[in-house]
Amino acid sequence: MAPIIEVRNLHKQYGGTIAVDDVSLSVEAGEIFGILGPNGAGKTTTVECIEGLRAADGGSIRVLGLDPRRERAELTQRLGVQLQESQLPDRMRVGEALELFSTFYRRPAGWRALLETLGLADKAKTGYAKLSGGQKQRLSIALAMVGDPEVLVLDELTTGLDPQARRDTWGLIEQVRARGVTILLVTHFMEEAERLCDRLALIDKGRVVAVDTPAGLATRAQAGQRIRFRPDGPLDDALLAGLLAGLPDVTSVVRQGDQVVVTGNDNALSAVTSALARHRIVARQLRVEQASLEDAFVSLTNRTDKDSQ
């Protein structure tokens, strides 16, 4: 089956600045495909080209087999879009907005049912300016879905939402996917990508660094294991370093306050515990952390994660 979205060698620059250098990706029917990357990596420009809002300078894009620029009228009927930072007139009411948008489409979804699904039924007569951040976001999703689209593009879906609203929104997206809608999701939240996406493209500096499942990406980071513990008694740094750093399966030993953090490969845990046992050191609050998507992000983009918080 042909991919729902196919991007080949997309290139886009503004003046002399390259926003997207070379991006290729393909999104299969029914999946939630994530575009993850630091701020300024070219995520939004990529989806804006996919939506047909911008003309690419190079490469080709097909969405549902359509050219987003030349076959715009057809594409807008079948593609639902939620834009980053897009608002409505302050005094436009929720129900009014949905009813209005539903008249744009050939076969709209029932907008009253959408209000129910998105938990906005009691806000139908409320003006846009009086909605909370979470309600505005839900309305934005409802408007993206009112044309009953086959593909949904969501850009920075949960930015600015509180944790509860963010989790509610995630649940909603999973419901939408369950209806068979293919979803392209732009995010810089690891947790969101990990929770929602079937596959991810990690984009950095306008290029695709890796495409994989969230777990697959984490494995690629090859950070192995991270072991944390608190020794039961005072320990000399030099002794500890000599004891553990010499082990073949250990790559680093770091002291963090009264905790010791050891990283190494998959065998590191047994090596560390037996070395400690030989020296009669009891490891309290022993924890083992697997490499996360965040580790993959940091190691694959060579950046600190300060942008992604």
Partner 1 sequence: MIALRRLTAVEFRLFLREKVGPIFGLGFPLVLLIIFGNIPFFNQPGDTYGGLTVLDVYVPILIAFVITMLAINFLPATLAGYREKGILRRLGTTPAGPVRVLAAQLLVNVAVIAVAVAVLLLVGRFGFDVTLPRQFGAFLLTAVLTTTAMIAIGLFIAAAAPTGRIANAAGATLFYVLMTFAGLWIPIQAMPAVLQHISRATPLGAAVTAFQAAGEGRWPSAVQLVTLVAYAVAAGAAAARMFRWE
Q: CB of 275: closest distance to partner 1 in angstroms?
A: 59
Nearer to partner 1, 152 or 268 (CB): 152
- Beginning with the edge strand found earlier in the chain, give each strand of the sheet holding 259-264 in spatial order: 250-256, 259-264, 225-231, 283-290
Determine the Cα–Cα distance for residues 120 and 140; give it in Å rounded to an integer: 11
- The structure tokens listed for 180 are 């068979």
162 alpha-carbon distance from chain centroid: 16
Determine the Cα–Cα distance for residues 33 and 287; give it in Å rounded to an integer: 32
Residue 195's Cβ-count burial label (10 Å; 0-12, 13-18, 19+) is middle
Total residues in contact with partner 1, by rule CB under 8 A: 26
Nearer to partner 1, 90 or 122 (CB): 90
Q: CB of 107: closest distance to partner 1 in angstroms?
A: 11
Q: Please, what is the angle between helix 133-145 and helix 94-102, to 10°?
A: 20
Cα angle for residues 135, 136, 140 (degrees, 5° grid):
115
Residue from 101, 189, 229, 297 in contact with partner 1 (CB under 8 A): 101
Contact 229, 260 (CB under 8 A): yes
Nearer to partner 1, 133 or 246 (CB): 133
The residue range among 103-111, 167-175, 178-186, 225-233 that interacts with partner 1, by the rule CB under 8 A, is 103-111
Segments in 20-71 forming alpha helices (H): 43-51
Contact 111, 144 (CB under 8 A): no
Task: State which of positions 51-90 bind partner 1 (CB under 8 A).
Answer: 51-53, 73, 76-77, 79, 81, 83, 85-89
Contact pattern for partner 1 over residues 144 through 183, marking x by CB under 8 A: ---x------------------------------------
Q: CB of 41: closest distance to partner 1 in angstroms?
A: 21
Residue from 91, 179, 255, 279 in contact with partner 1 (CB under 8 A): 91
Nearer to partner 1, 37 or 52 (CB): 52
The residue range among 46-54, 184-192, 254-262, 279-287 that interacts with partner 1, by the rule CB under 8 A, is 46-54
Nearer to partner 1, 96 or 198 (CB): 96
Q: CB of 156: closest distance to partner 1 in angstroms?
A: 13
Residue from 71, 96, 198, 307 in contact with partner 1 (CB under 8 A): 96
Q: CB of 26: closest distance to partner 1 in angstroms?
A: 21
Residue from 22, 28, 31, 99 in contact with partner 1 (CB under 8 A): 99
Is the torsion defined by CA of 49, 33, 136, 158 positive or negative?
A: negative
Segments in 129-283 forming alpha helices (H): 133-145, 163-178, 190-196, 214-221, 237-245, 268-278
Q: CB of 155: closest distance to partner 1 in angstroms?
A: 11
Determine the Cα–Cα distance for residues 19 and 40; give it in Å rounded to an integer: 8
Residue from 103, 164, 285, 302 in contact with partner 1 (CB under 8 A): 103
Between the two ends of the chain, the Cα-to-Cα distance in Å is 38
Q: CB of 149: closest distance to partner 1 in angstroms?
A: 11
Residues of this chain that interact with partner 1 (CB under 8 A) are 51-53, 73, 76-77, 79, 81, 83, 85-89, 91-92, 96, 99-101, 103-106, 143, 147
